[in-house]
Amino acid sequence: INAEYMGFLLRMSKTTGSDNQAMERAKQTAKILSNNGLKSKEANLVDKRVEFFRGDDMVSQLTLCIPEIGKLFGENYTKGDQKAAIDLGQRLLKEGQLIKLERGKEIKKFKWPKKLIYANNKNFDDKGFYCWGFPRSAKSHVFLLVVVVTLILGVLLFPVWPLKVKIAVWYVSVFMLLAIIGLILIRYLVYIVFWIFSCEFWIFPNLFDDDKGIVESFIPAASFSLRSGDTFALIFARLVCLCLIVYVSYSIVKEPRMIASFSDASFKGVNDILNWGQLKLEGNTTSQSPQTKSLKDIENELNNDPISGKSEPNAPEAETEDDDKVQKI
């Protein structure tokens, strides 16, 4: 593997005129495939990060875009010609502009592996993974590096931000957290309702899929399917969930004030959290609630007990009166 990697670097350092033409064709091919929706991910390859794509995705995209890509190579292909797409992929492999990869050693096999190694089989097919052999543009990397460094410096300088900006960030953070929690609760509540009737309905089914990107996690918006072959235990669990839902619904209908009291308590809790954060940001850490008593106030109340009518300062006078009574006796 190391010898092949070094050979690849040597080929890249000794590019001729024909190699430059092949590289330009490969770059144009990559651009066409990317614009038509070829999905790609990043993974570790030996000692570097590479952007790779699946073989089946590339074959399908090559088959759709083969007329346009064929013109780059001086060929006339018809749309949907899968054999021509495979031949074109084999040509890219032979020219060194496309590199075939395979899975590395992983405990769990994902659809998009995290580690890749160079494949021993050099034939182009839809079974493996591929990456482009030409170096990627450094402009995007420089831009991402500048963005990351700027964000890190911005977070480190948070204490010197304007107070209004810090309060706005605090409010946005709290509301985003509440929105995420609310979305998760609604997803599971809707799923349970449909699950009772042997159906599976998910809102944003890819929301917690590690293999999906940020945008792909919200696509599609919903999914629906029917369940079959459930056991007696699952049927019994559905009946229990149905009884609980009916009982809760009946309690709400019988006591409509429960919703109002719950809403008031929720809004009050959110307001308390927002006010607490705002006071922390303003530096007002010594403010106490009107109902909060300090330790000194509690000691004074214990020493001055109104029920017994005794107080600590008058204790010596009480002892003097008892001594006078003893002397008289």
CA atoms within 13 A on the CB side of 305: 8
Q: Which residues face 132 on adjacent strands?
A: 98
The residues, ordered by sequence, that sit 6+ positions from 56 with a Cβ below 8 Å of its Cβ are 126, 127
**pLDDT by 10s per residue, the chain, length 329:** 455 545 555 555 554 556 788 888 888 888 888 888 888 888 888 778 888 888 888 888 888 888 888 888 888 888 888 888 888 888 888 888 888 988 877 666 777 888 888 888 888 888 889 998 877 766 777 888 899 999 999 999 988 999 999 999 999 999 999 999 999 999 999 999 998 888 889 999 888 877 677 787 888 889 888 887 778 888 888 899 889 989 888 888 888 788 888 888 889 999 999 999 999 988 854 444 445 556 667 777 777 655 444 444 444 545 555 555 545 54
The residues, ordered by sequence, that sit 6+ positions from 320 with a Cβ below 8 Å of its Cβ are none
Given the DSSP bridges, would you call strands 41-45 and 115-118 parallel, antiparallel or unpaired? parallel
In which element (H, E) is residue 224 found? strand 222-226
Given the DSSP bridges, would you call strands 222-226 and 199-203 parallel, antiparallel or unpaired? antiparallel
CA separation for the pair 100, 123 (Å, rounded):
8
Distances (CA, A) of 18 to 25, 100, 135, 183, 297: 11, 22, 17, 55, 89
In 3D, which of 62, 76, 1, 2 has the Cα closest to residue 32? 62
pTM: 0.56
